[in-house]
Amino acid sequence: MFEGHKTGIFWLGLIILGLASLELFSVLWYMIVAAQPYVNFDYVWKALVPPLVGGIMFILIGLYMMKSGTRKKPEGKTQPLTQ
């Protein structure tokens, strides 16, 4: 999927993807840890919806940047036309 020459946009998208994945993992980990019987899970869920949606959106943005930041290699050799 990401074959070809990688440009700066690809690497920036990879950094965004990595940071968004880290943020999403930390939110999911907090939800698992905070799901104890003494914690009001309804409040925790309402507080964590914006980071969850933001993490998912930044993952999609990072993947799009990685996809658009690759230049395809030429399929075959092209030779100049000579007469």
* Residue 38 placed within a domain: yes
CA distances to 4, 10, 23, 45, 80 from 27, rounded to whole Å, are 34, 26, 6, 10, 56
* Residue 80 placed within a domain: no
Q: Structural domain tally of the chain?
A: 1
The band of 10, judged by pLDDT with boundaries at 50, 70 and 90, is confident
Total-model pTM = 0.73
HSE toward the beta carbon, residue 78, CA cutoff 13 A: 5
Q: What is the distance between the alpha carbons of residues 20 and 12, in angstroms, rounded to a whole number?
A: 12
Amino acid code (one letter) for 41: F
* Residue 76 placed within a domain: no
Q: What is the pLDDT of residue 35?
A: 67
* Residue 16 placed within a domain: yes
Q: What is the pLDDT of residue 24?
A: 92
